[in-house]
């Protein structure tokens, strides 16, 4: 049994990681300030895990939670392009300074490895598809820049301080527990809840922008593999499916799932959003033994089922 600390463990991705670790019988600590996460996300595993309320922006207060930890999974962040554009200073404090604090605390506690949630936003609007890790970064938003800085910090801490750190570039994650009522939530959460509430889904742009939509189960699998893979230390690795779908194709899939013929409302494109994105997952396969466990249509159907049970009953998470 190993000891894991999950920052942001009450959030969308973090709670899935925590549930899986608890099911495996690992020792799990959660560090979260509950600004965007929910205790309800951890209700099913509240007994076997330790929950610590704290803020990664306060280094001294979080240091004790790292003592005796082998693996840190760093998911705490303000994960939103739109929010970083609206408030670059706040998102910088959390996404860069907070990440540095996590690495410092992990280094001082002699943690074995840190796995950092990086972002495919680092690629920006590079026209090359699929996106390989060797492409030059081209961040188009403060959020993308902040996540890229976190990657570099991970590499520096590996090479300078001997703290093993892995940066995983996540591509458009979706799935259960993504809060549909947050103004900064993912597009799929907004689309699905619009269908369930009888509203018209809003597409920013012409709908032909494409994404490598990645079900959260794929992300959990890759993240836990990255904790123990001997070859991954100091590396930046894509986590996606290797396939992409446009927003218009997504509306068509949702129409099929719901048995409707909804036509979306189109609005102006959002600043800072890339046009196309698709992961090359060759490196993840080589270094992590990773293979997607859920494809997009299946993951979308399962997510709709989850939201149907929750949103229809008035529960957002």
Question: Among 40, 59, 39, which residue's Cα sits nearest to residue 51?
Answer: 39
Q: Is the pLDDT of residue 206 over 70?
A: yes
Tokens of 200: 């018209």
Q: Can you tell me the mean pLDDT for 145-153? A: 98
Residue 183's pLDDT band, with cuts at 50, 70 and 90, is low
- At 81 the pLDDT is 83
Q: Is the pLDDT of residue 317 over 80?
A: no
Distance between CA atoms of 186 and 189, rounded to whole angstroms? 6
Q: Can you tell me the mean pLDDT for 138-148? A: 95
In the chain, DSSP assigns E strands to 3-7, 27-32, 49-53, 71-74, 113-119, 164-170, 173-174, 202-204, 210-211, 214-215, 236-239, 245-246, 265-267
For the chain, the domains span 3-175+213-242+279-294
pLDDT tens for residues 19-37? 999 999 999 999 999 998 9
- At 82 the pLDDT is 83
What's the CATH number of domain 3-175+213-242+279-294, 3.40.50.720, 3.30.1060.10, 3.40.50.2030, 1.10.600.10? 3.40.50.720
pLDDT tens for residues 287-314? 999 999 999 999 999 999 999 988 655 5
- At 310 the pLDDT is 80
Q: What is the mean pLDDT of the chain?
A: 94
The residues, ordered by sequence, that sit 6+ positions from 120 with a Cβ below 8 Å of its Cβ are 131, 169, 170, 171, 172, 212, 238, 240, 277, 279
| More confident position, 56 or 184 | 56
pLDDT tens for residues 44-96? 998 889 999 999 999 999 999 999 999 999 999 998 888 899 999 999 999 99
Query: How many beta carbons lie within 10 A of that of residue 4, not counting itself?
Result: 25
Alpha carbon distances (Å) from 3 to 111, 144, 243:
10, 30, 34
Going by their DSSP bridges, the two strands 202-204 and 49-53 should be labelled as unpaired
pLDDT tens for residues 231-285? 999 999 999 999 999 999 999 999 999 999 999 999 999 876 778 899 999 999 9
């Amino acid at each position: 049994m190993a000891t894991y600390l999950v920052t942001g463990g009450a959030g969308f991705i973090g709670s899935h990681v925590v549930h899986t670790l608890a099911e495996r019988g690992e020792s799990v600590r959660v560090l979260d300030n509950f600004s965007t996460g929910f205790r309800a996300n951890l209700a099913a595993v509240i007994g076997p895990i330790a929950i610590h309320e704290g803020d990664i922006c306060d280094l001294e207060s979080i240091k004790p939670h790292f003592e005796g930890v082998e693996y840190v999974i760093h998911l705490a962040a303000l994960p939103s392009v739109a929010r970083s554009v609206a408030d670059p200073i706040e998102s910088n404090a959390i996404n860069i300074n907070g990440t540095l604090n996590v690495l410092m605390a992990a280094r001082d506690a002699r943690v074995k490895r840190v796995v950092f949630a990086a972002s495919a936003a680092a690629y920006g609007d590079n026209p090359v598809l699929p996106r390989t890790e060797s492409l030059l970064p081209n961040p188009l938003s403060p959020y993308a820049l902040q996540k890229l800085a976190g990657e570099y910090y991970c590499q520096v801490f590996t090479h300078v301080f001997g703290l093993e750190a892995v940066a995983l570039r996540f591509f458009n994650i979706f799935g259960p527990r993504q809060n549909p009522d947050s103004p900064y939530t993912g597009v799929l959460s907004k689309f699905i809840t619009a269908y369930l509430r009888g509203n018209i889904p809003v597409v920013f742009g012409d709908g032909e922008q494409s994404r490598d939509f990645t079900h959260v189960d794929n992300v959990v699998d890759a993240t836990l593999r990255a904790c123990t893979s001997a070859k991954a230390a100091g590396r930046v690795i894509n986590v996606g499916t290797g396939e992409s779908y446009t927003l218009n194709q997504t509306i068509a899939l949702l129409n099929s799932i719901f048995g409707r013929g909804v036509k979306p409302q189109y609005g102006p494109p959002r600043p800072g959003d890339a046009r196309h994105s698709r992961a090359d997952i060759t490196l993840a396969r080589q270094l992590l033994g990773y293979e997607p466990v859920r494809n997009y249509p299946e993951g979308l159907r399962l997510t709709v089922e989850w939201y149907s049970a929750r949103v229809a009953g008035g529960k957002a998470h």
